[in-house]
Structures are given as structure tokens and as C-alpha cells.
Structure 1
Amino acid sequence: MRILQFGKFYPPVLGGIEKVMQDLCDGLRQREIICDVLCSNSTNHYQEDTTPYGAKIYRTASLGKIASTSISPQMIIKLKELIDNYDIIHIHLPDPMATLALFLSNHKNKKIIIHWHSDIINQKFLLNFFLPLQSWILNRADKIIATSEKYILESPYLQRHKKKCVCIPIGIDFPTPTPLPTKQSNIILSVGRLVPLKGFEYLIKSALYLPKHFQIHIIGDGKPHYKLQLQTLINSLKLQDRVFLLGAKSQEKLKTFYQQANCFVLPSLQESYGIVLLEAMASGLPLVCTKLSPSGSDWINQDRRTGFVVPPKDPQAITQAILKIQEEYEGLSEKARNRFQSFFTKEKMIEITLSLYYSV
């Protein structure tokens, strides 16, 4: 069995989809399954790499990005050249360029698996032009991987193909601390890129209603103007001694922040999954997230079991959830870590994906 994973970019380019591709590729190669990757380069030149586990990474030259899509005509040529060497094409979407390349290739006798990470939400005007191609690939696919049961039910595109869909949650390799955290900490933690869709201003405003001994630590970097907007809000509310924008942290340092926190809040206005929720759960932190659609974040975090789900844009609801967590802290903490270990480890993701390959 020979697998070609196919998507926009691959590490060292950072991103959730890129990390999933790398974890699957490495995990399959460690199990002696042939798995290689075709993707776009981040620059205008072609490059081939070999991973420590022997996978070939084919990076086609990019002319640049338009609407988050890498424009790489060479991808079409390279897929035509490579496709006969593989039995299964595992394509990670959304990626209009990769979809077009597959449409123009000799895919007739190949098994096609779509990994549906998210609907296209932000580029709605351009989506109108892509919809025929998107409909084609959904119809052509042998199986469609969704990252949560909830996304299958809520995505208007996946609902029409529910019989093909299988839920394979994204899993991560994240050490779980011993012992579990305790509610003695006064740090409310949030992690994410500083962009408006993360809704950090609503978490900041929640500090107005929290007891004064609580601090809010926000880790991440992003758009400078949004970071300035957040800091201006903190200053105007006179919360400089209670709310802190700490910038980006290395993965190693980030683990320490998780271990020192009381609970974790993800106040997003849009979130297809939420890998940071998994990191917090692995650390035994009770969660607060927002109720969104389509989204898997409030499927990862089970309301009143691993934490609380609140309406978006509601600082007082965030505060109430944080205070409720304190009342039943140990039970929520234990259930959060147990849910991570049951559903969201990297090993489980690899094993279920491998089973899916054999089934097709």
C-alpha cells in the first residue's frame, strides 16, 4: 500500500494542517507503510527533501499566495508525474490548487480520501467560483475524514455526503503532567494567534467581573494592529496588573504555562477545531470555549463535563464559567485529561487513519 499525502504546505511551514500531515507521514513510515507528500513550496523554486523516516517531500514552486491559496502550476505537472506510483491519494482541504491538480490528473483507478479540515468561510466571493470543483471532489472521494462528529452534522457541504464521512479527531503528542493541576492557581490561560476571529477582547473584558486575584495570560503573536488594539483596551480598562499579552512562546515553555494555569479559555468567534484545547486537556485544565457552527471546539470540550461552553462575544458568560469551574474543579480536571487520552492522542489518529486506508 502506497500513500501520497497532498496539500498546501508541509513543515517547516507552521500550521495545524501541516502538523497533521507530518504526524501522519512520520507515523505511517514508522509502521513501514510507504507515505510521501506533494505540496507547494513557500518560494518560487522546486525542492525535494527526505525525512528522517525515509518519506519523500516534493515541494513545487509557488508564484505566491492569493486568498490563502498557494499558486503553484507546477503542482499539476508533478502530480501527473507521480500519481501512478501510489494507491491512495490523501488530499488535505481546503486547498483549491491541490483540488485542481487532482481534477486534471489521471486519478481514475486511485482511491481518493479527503481530509476536510474546514469549510471555506472567509473567501465567500471566491468560493462561488470554486464550488463546482469542490462539488466534484466531494462526489469523487471514496471517503471523507472530518475532524469531529459535530462538523459532519453542521457543514452544509459534508451533510450531503454523510455516508462517506468518518470522524478521525486530530491527535497530538503532548505529555500529561502528574499530578493534575489544582485550583490554587490564579492564572486564566489563553493561547492563539492575535487575530480578531480569536475574540480575545471578550476574554479581556471578563476580567472586570472576575475576583481581583485572578490574572489572565494571553500567549501568541499576530497582527500588530490587533495586538495594539488589545493592549489599548487593557490600558483603558485599567487592567494592566491583571491581564498580560505575553507574546509567542516555544513549545517547551508553553508546557510550563499550561502546568501553572488554573483553567483555559478559547473565546473564538470562528474555530474549525482548536488544537490548543487538546494541549490544555492533556495538561488537565478545565476548559471554557464558545458555541460555534460549524465547529468542533464545543465537541472537543463537553459542556459541564470537561468545562463549559458559552455564547461568543459574552464576557460575563466567560466569567461565570470560570467561577463555576472553581466549584467542581477536580472532577472537570480529571475528565478533561481522561477525554484527551481516550480520543485525542497522535497514536490514535494514526491508527484510525491506517485502518481507513485498509478499508478502502
Structure 2
Amino acid sequence: MRILQISKYYYPYIGGIENTCKQLVENMPQYQMAVLCFNDKNEDIIENVNGVKVYRVATWINISRQALSLSYFGMMSKAIKEFRPDIIHFHWANPFPAAVLLTMIPRNVKLVIHWHMDIIKQSNLYPFIKPFERSLLKRSDLIVVTSPQYRDGSLPLQPYKNKVKVLPSAMDEIKFILRQDDEKEIANLKAKYGNKKIVFFIGRHIQYKGLPHLIEAEKYIQSDCEVVIAGQGPLTEELKKQCKSKRVHFVGRLNDDELRWYNYAATVFAFPSITKNEAFGVALVEAMYCGTPAVTFTISGSGVNWVLLNGENGIEVPNGDDKAYAAAIDILLTNKELNKKYADAGIKRAKEYFLIPRMTKMLDEYYRDLYL
């Protein structure tokens, strides 16, 4: 069976949707795969990436984070004619390619929509996108979503729930298995912060990640600890100016080794996202896998509060309540027995539900069901 994956971008571009697409492409050898995506520069190219044919479409312009290119029509036509897919697996939200796809998808080709998120931020453009979104969902043979919460809370999906199945996102376990000398590196990392307990955040510094709430909550944390904020983004410099505390450390981007060390060195993982733009939370799963319990906000309709089960493998507090967030962090910093209980439950949940082999096994069954 031949499957054409359509993603916004593709490896080596790094992003949540792009990582999921790569995981599916490279871990389902029972299928022939190809990828159609945008290039991050103004050039059409066709190349081989780890044995997979990738059609990259030139980006002419970006509007509200949507790449646009008239050459998409030609490249999609070429990919369909050359590769002859049995299934097109389309990663939403990616409206312009969706509009192009609706003009040329063959009738005999099955369409799978991977619904990663609703369109929320570009609300001013949504009225123009909605007709294509609706047509895409109507044409689909299967829609997969990353959590039951997103399935039940997404308004565009409600008329099509008979087509919807849950396919949880997955973390790359290999990156987080402890290596030789890791214990030494983790000990060095703890020593760097005076062997105090570490509250750790990793993610892009953008509005929905909720970093202003973490920085405000830090003022109310009573325990002696250090707050480490990794990653960067458009809000980084503004956040640094707002934060006056000496126990908050901005450490920038981390490589894979450093990310693993911080996740194991930390006592608490801070995940202060505040909107449904945070549809799932792979970084949350990674912390759970490493035995670091987390604190989240309640986000209606998001899978975050399904990945972390309040009172089972972490703590969830009312959205935007910075004092409650600080109090929850204090509980996990001071209550060793509870921290260990949540850590153990988090490890179990991460390994049972959110690893690549389970995701690909589920999707394999879904693909095969399309032809029963």
C-alpha cells in the first residue's frame, strides 16, 4: 500500500506536526511512503530523506504563518501522478494545501485527515478557511485526533464524529533512555544550581505556552528551588525584562543530551500552557517518561488534561490561577512520597500510551480498516 503524507514542512525542519509525520513515515516499513510539504525557501526540490521521497514546494510568501505558492498545484499533481498513492494522509491545520488537494485528489484514493488542532489564532481568516475545512472533512474517509478531549471539544469535528478515531501522539523513547555517563552529567547539572530542587520548563516562548504565568507564579513559590526556562521564541526578551528573580534562569535552546539531563535532574516539570493551541503536549510526555511529575492548567478541549491525569500522575489547577500554580509546585517540591507516586504513575502512563510503536500499530489497524 502506498501512502502520501502531506505535512506543512518536513525533516530537518523541527516542529510538533513535522515530528509526528516523520515518526509515521520512518516507523511503518510495511507501507511505501512519500511526503509532500513546503520548502522553507523559494525553491521547488525533490529529494531523498532517509530513503523516503520528499516533494518540497517553494514558499513564495507567508501570511499568518501559512506558506503560499502557486507551484503547489504542479508539485501536488506530480506527486500524485508519480507516486500513485492508495491513501493520502493530510496533516491539518494546513489550509492552502487542503484547498489545492480538493481540486485534484482522485476519487479512488482514500483520505485520512490527521487533526492536530483547530484553527484558533487566525480567527480573522477562519471565515475564509472554513469552507475548505468543511469540504475536506466531508471528503475524508477517516479523521484521527490526538485525544478524546480534542475529539469531543472540537466544533468543526462534531458533524463528522462517526469518522473520528483517537491516535495519541508519541515521544521518541530512544532520546530519553539513560546513557553511560548520564548520571555524572545529571549530578553536574544539579550542582550548577547549588543542588537545589529544579522546576523545569521547555518550549517555544510564545503566548499560548503561558510563560508569563510561570514567571508570575514563581513569586509565590515558598520552597527553596531554581526555575529553569529552556527554549526561545518571540517573547524571550520581553520575558527576561519582566522577570527580576535571581532564581529564574533562561538557558536557551538545548540539544538532545541536555534536554534528557534536565528532565531527569528536575523535581517538577512546569507546563503552564493556557489555550487549545496546546493540543497535546509531547514535552509533557517526555517529562513523565523521565519520572518528573508536572503541573498544568485546566485547558478545556485540550488533550493536555488527558496526558496528565490530575491526582494520578501530576497536578492540574484552574486556568490562569498563578497562586494555585505556585502552590501545586510547592506540593511536589516538598511532598516526596506524593512526588514519587506521581512520578511512577507518569512513567507507566508514558510507556503504556505514548510511545511510537503503539501509535504506529494503531494507525496500521486504521489504514487496513479503510479497505475492509
Q: What's the TM-score once normalised by structure 2's chain length?
A: 0.90
Counterpart among 12, 32, 47 of residue 49 in structure 1:
47
Q: Distance in 2 between matches of 1:348 and 1:268?
A: 26
2:279/2:302 contact within 8 Å kept: yes
The aligned residue for residue 7 of structure 2 is 7
Counterpart among 352, 356, 361 of residue 351 in structure 1:
361
Q: Distance in 2 between matches of 1:313 and 1:217?
A: 20
1:91/1:98 contact within 8 Å kept: no
Rate the CA distance shift 1:6–1:186 in 2: closer, same or farther, 3 A: same
The aligned residue for residue 234 of structure 1 is 243
Counterpart among 70, 73, 77 of residue 73 in structure 1:
70
Give CA deviations for 1:211-236 in whole Å, capped at 9, x if unaligned. Answer: 2411111111111xx2232222222x
Q: Distance in 1 between matches of 2:226 and 2:296?
A: 18
Q: Which moved more, 1:126-135 or 1:318-327?
A: 318-327
Q: CA deviation at 1:356?
A: 1.0
1:241-256 pair list within 5 angstroms: 242-256=247-261
1:82 maps onto 2:79 in alignment = yes
1:45/1:62 contact within 8 Å kept: yes
SS at match of 1:268: coil
Which amino acid in structure 2 is aligned with residue 356 of structure 1? Answer: Y
1:122-133 pair list within 5 angstroms: 122-133=121-132
Give CA deviations for 1:130-153 in whole Å, capped at 9, x if unaligned. Answer: 111110111111110101110001
The aligned residue for residue 163 of structure 1 is 162
The aligned residue for residue 138 of structure 2 is 139
Q: Distance in 2 between matches of 1:185 and 1:298?
A: 29
Q: Distance in 2 between matches of 1:159 and 1:332?
A: 34
Counterpart among 324, 333, 336 of residue 346 in structure 2:
336
Give CA deviations for 1:275-315 in whole Å, capped at 9, x if unaligned. Answer: 11011011111111111123111111100001011122222
The aligned residue for residue 22 of structure 1 is 22
Which amino acid in structure 1 is aligned with residue 73 of structure 2? Answer: I
SS at match of 2:125: helix
1:201 maps onto 2:206 in alignment = no
Q: Which moved more, 1:252-261 or 1:77-86?
A: 77-86
Q: Distance in 2 between matches of 1:124 and 1:205?
A: 28
The aligned residue for residue 154 of structure 1 is 153
2:293/2:313 contact within 8 Å kept: yes
Give CA deviations for 1:301-338 in whole Å, capped at 9, x if unaligned. Answer: 10000101112222211122123334311110000010
SS at match of 1:337: helix
Which amino acid in structure 2 is aligned with residue 79 of structure 1? Answer: M
1:117 maps onto 2:116 in alignment = yes
Q: CA RMSD in A?
A: 2.1
Q: Distance in 1 between matches of 2:105 and 2:269?
A: 47
Counterpart among 267, 270, 273 of residue 268 in structure 1:
273
1:218 maps onto 2:234 in alignment = no
Q: CA deviation at 1:72?
A: 2.1
Q: CA deviation at 1:12?
A: 1.2
1:152/1:165 contact within 8 Å kept: yes
SS at match of 2:168: coil
Which amino acid in structure 2 is aligned with residue 123 of structure 1? Answer: Q
The aligned residue for residue 189 of structure 2 is none
Q: CA deviation at 1:45?
A: 1.1
Q: CA deviation at 1:129?
A: 0.7
SS at match of 2:229: strand
1:183-202 pair list within 5 angstroms: 186-202=197-213
The aligned residue for residue 33 of structure 1 is 31
Q: CA deviation at 1:197?
A: 2.0
Structure 1 portions without partners, runs of 5+: none
Structure 2 portions without partners, runs of 5+: 187-194
Q: Distance in 1 between matches of 2:206 and 2:268?
A: 22
Q: CA deviation at 1:177?
A: 4.7
Q: CA deviation at 1:185?
A: 5.7
Q: CA deviation at 1:103?
A: 0.6
1:177/1:283 contact within 8 Å kept: no
SS at match of 2:199: strand
The aligned residue for residue 98 of structure 1 is 97
Q: Distance in 1 between matches of 2:221 and 2:18?
A: 37
Rate the CA distance shift 1:141–1:185 in 2: closer, same or farther, 3 A: farther
Give CA deviations for 1:252-279 in whole Å, capped at 9, x if unaligned. Answer: 2111111100010111122111111011
Which amino acid in structure 1 is aligned with residue 117 of structure 2? Answer: S
1:177/1:259 contact within 8 Å kept: no
Q: Distance in 2 between matches of 1:284 and 1:168?
A: 24
Q: Distance in 2 between matches of 1:121 and 1:63?
A: 24
Which amino acid in structure 1 is aligned with residue 312 of structure 2? Answer: R
Which amino acid in structure 1 is aligned with residue 133 of structure 2? Answer: Q
